[in-house]
Structure formats: C-alpha cells, structure tokens
Amino acid sequence: MEFITPDNGKSYNRCHFWSNFEIANLNFWRNSSYNAYFNHLDRAGGFFYERWGDAPVHTIAAVMFLKPEQIHFFNDIGYYHIPFTHCPIEDEFRQKCHCSPHDSFDWKDHSCTKRWFKTAGNKLPEHHAKYAG
C-alpha cells in the first residue's frame, strides 16, 4: 500500500503503473474481490463524472489484491505514449529500440517507478542506478 498512499490509505498519491501495456490473468479481473471493488467505484460515479482511468483503477486493485512478486515490471519492452517514454536499459533489449535510457520517464523525479521498487521490496538492478539517480 505504501506505493499508492503516504498515510495508510487516507489519501492517494496518484502513483500508478503508466505503461498502456498489461498482461493479466483474467481470473484476477473476474474474482469477487475485484468485482466488489469495481462495482463500488462504478456506483460512486467516478468513471462517468470524474473520468477515472484504467491505469489508476488497475494499479490500486493490483496493490490491494496481489503480492508484489505477482507484479512484473516489463523493462525489456520499449514504448512511447505522449509525453512519456520507456526505454529499456539493458543493451540486449535497447538494440531494437530507437530511444535513449536517459529520456526514459521511469527514472525522472516525478515518476513513481523508483517508489515501486522501494516499496515492493524489489532491489533496483545496479545498471539502473546511473539512470535512477
């Protein structure tokens, strides 16, 4: 929960997974806990009146209902979604991308990627440190 809230759930810090790329087991979206969560949000009217998006809704659900080790950070797939870029850091993956890891949004101060690695108990790989600051 530390990834999405600084005060044990009283507020939301707006951290969420920004990738527009998800691979999920459909059983997760179909389970009773997720359905109760989704129905609660739907009844609150935020999808219609506030334009709540799928990224924060899915992130909050993943953080609440999955273990950190069940969430995978796809560093090896580059993408660009205006205005954000994710560029793989490892040379073996970057050879197929037209980007610079220095331009990657993941390691900018206003990104939550470093926060995810810290709060999920995942150690940031050493070769990421030079980009993560």
Report pLDDT digits (tens) over 36-46.
Answer: 999 999 999 98
Cis peptide bond upstream of 83, omega within 30? yes
The ranges assigned to domains in the chain are 1-69, 79-131
Lowest mean pLDDT among 16-25, 97-106, 119-128: 119-128
In a 3-state reduction of DSSP, which class is residue 32? helix
Active site residue 22: yes
Tell me if 87 sits within 8 A of 97, measured CB to CB: yes
Question: pTM (2 decimals)?
Answer: 0.81
The predicted-structure confidence for 64-118, as pLDDT tens digits, reads as follows 999 988 988 887 788 888 888 888 777 676 677 777 777 888 878 888 888 888 8
Tell me, what's the pLDDT at 97?
A: 73
Which residue type sits at 125?
Answer: P
- 2, 22, 92, 126: the catalytic one is 22
Name the burial class of residue 62, with classes exposed (0-12), middle (13-18) and buried (19+) by CB atoms within 10 angstroms of its CB.
buried
Length of the chain: 133
Q: How many C-alpha atoms does 59 have within 13 Å on its Cβ side? A: 24
Report the Cα 34 to chain-centroid distance in Å.
17
